[in-house]
Amino acid sequence: MIKSIIAVTREIDDAAAAAAEILEAVKPEANLLKNSLGIISCFSEFAETGALEAICEALPFDCIGATTCLSAAGREIDQILFSITVLTSDDCSFKTAMIPVSEDYEKNIAAAAAGLTDRSGENPALVLSYFPLMYNLSGDMLLSSIDEVLNGAPLFGTVAVDHTVDYSAASTIYNGEMFREAVVLGAVWGDVDVWFEVAALNENKIRKQKAVITESSGNILMGVNGKTALEYLEEIGLTRAELSMGLGIVPLVIDHNDGTKPVARGVFSVTPEGYAVCGGAMPKNATLALGAIEGEDVLQITGDALKSFKEKDSVILGYSCIARYLTLGADSTAEARIVTEAAMDTGCFFAHSGGEICPLPDTDGKLKNYFHNYSIVLCKLS
């Protein structure tokens, strides 16, 4: 069984005061069980002022996580917020790793992820996963490398994001340090029950017109129905200008035709060759359709996803795509409010994301790890 402790601070300028506030809420000597792990979500400036480092140095366990543009913990919601969700247990153990992403990232991941495995050969019950935001390396590529080493253990987490226009401060977090180009992982072993939920677009607003991906390379959509990606997308009513505006404008829906739910994909840009640079893998022979995202749909979908998911004496971790945040416009905290209000009788953590990591069940009920855009992903632990 896993218990949770949630602590927040808005003290961004005084590192010592921030650490003291978090320590007072966590009360390590009174509340911690045998093994513990901290999950951090914070505004990037908490690192610049030294508050992040001071907090992690004061806590007697590893801390992992990522920066965000908005987070919520307990009943607190804010952009300039430091939140930590402490998982603590007598029955579970935790192993962590920070993996630099370079030209040899696959070798680095293989070496580090292997250290997270158990001597018995059994998979972890869960691997909390925090990826850097890198346009030259899609989240799917990182996920596939980790998935292969950890033999399909369920991965859940987010891609770092931040409040800047170009996401220049988006970083993963490991024990008080921020990393622009590093994967951070936390494996959970032992007696724990884990459930997942993924929700994205309004299915009634996904066009019935389907197409087949005929050429691709990783997250580059090259050909659809034998035409270039741009030719096809212009054919169904989109323009190069709209596509080049980036994530938040054009959700594509990809059906892998393997029994799992379709996943949403954002288009970041269009290359001179007419290829679409997308927010995740665009596998050849997958089915493609055009979706839509609107503020009212974001709130309804999130509310519906939580109705049967919340449970007393559990902890809920949630990440929601930054495109959903941007779609809400002036009322940007609306989705976070729905999550925190729905989960008042549980330990609840929520943050916005640059890409979501969560498994989906196939037709046989076996979980497969997937990378998502435009989605809210939820993980319940008890």
- What pLDDT digit, counting tens, does each position of 64-79 carry? 999 999 999 988 999 9
Check pLDDT > 60 for residue 246.
Answer: no
Lowest mean pLDDT among 199-208, 244-253, 276-285: 244-253
Q: What is the mean pLDDT of the segment spanning 267-275?
A: 89
The more confidently predicted of residues 214 and 362 is: 214
Output the average pLDDT for the chain. 90
* CA pair distance 207, 204, nearest whole angstrom: 8
* CA pair distance 198, 320, nearest whole angstrom: 10
Tokens (6 digits) for 238 = 């989109």
* CA pair distance 137, 181, nearest whole angstrom: 10
Check pLDDT > 90 for residue 98.
Answer: yes
If DSSP codes are grouped into helix, strand and coil, which group holds residue 237?
A: coil
Q: Identity (one letter) of the amino acid at 349?
A: F
* CA pair distance 238, 252, nearest whole angstrom: 12
If DSSP codes are grouped into helix, strand and coil, which group holds residue 251?
A: strand
Q: Which H helix or E strand runs over 381?
A: strand 376-381
* CA pair distance 292, 206, nearest whole angstrom: 7
Nearest 5°: CA angle at 186, between 126 and 197? Answer: 40
* CA pair distance 93, 184, nearest whole angstrom: 17
Q: What is the mean pLDDT of the segment spanning 369-376?
A: 93
> What is the bridge-based pairing of β-strands 35-42 and 82-89?
antiparallel
Domain residue extents for the chain: 3-199+297-381, 203-290
pLDDT at residue 60, rounded to an integer = 97
The strand order across the sheet containing 155-159 reads 92-100, 182-190, 126-131, 155-159, 356-361, 367-372
Sign of the alpha-carbon torsion through 263, 122, 379, 180: negative
87: confidence class by pLDDT, cuts 50, 70, 90:
very high
Sign of the alpha-carbon torsion through 74, 126, 324, 52: positive
Q: What is the mean pLDDT of the segment spanning 206-210?
A: 88
| Beta carbons of 201 and 195 less than 8 angstroms apart | no
pLDDT at residue 119, rounded to an integer = 57
27: confidence class by pLDDT, cuts 50, 70, 90:
very high
> What distance, in Å, lies between the first and last C-alpha atoms of the chain?
6
If DSSP codes are grouped into helix, strand and coil, which group holds residue 25?
A: helix
Q: What is the mean pLDDT of the segment spanning 2-20?
A: 95
Q: What is the mean pLDDT of the segment spanning 259-286?
A: 88
Phi, psi of 24, deg, nearest 5: -65, -35
DSSP 77-136: EESS-EEEEEEEESSEEEEEEEEE-STTHHHHHHHHHHTTS-TT-PPPSEEEEEE---TT
Check pLDDT > 60 for residue 247.
Answer: no
pLDDT at residue 344, rounded to an integer = 67
- What pLDDT digit, counting tens, does each position of 157-193 carry? 999 999 988 888 999 999 999 999 999 999 999 988 9
Check pLDDT > 80 for residue 345.
Answer: no
pLDDT at residue 312, rounded to an integer = 62
pLDDT at residue 215, rounded to an integer = 96
pLDDT at residue 275, rounded to an integer = 93
* CA pair distance 229, 270, nearest whole angstrom: 9
pLDDT at residue 362, rounded to an integer = 83
Q: How many CB atoms lie within 10 A of CB 193?
A: 12
Q: What is the mean pLDDT of the segment spanning 233-258?
A: 79
Q: How many CB atoms lie within 10 A of CB 259?
A: 13
Q: What is the mean pLDDT of the segment spanning 275-300?
A: 90
pLDDT at residue 257, rounded to an integer = 87
Burial class (CB in 10 A: 0-12, 13-18, 19+), 39: buried
Pick from 194, 196, 95, 179: nearest CA to 133:
179
Tokens (6 digits) for 188 = 């959970």
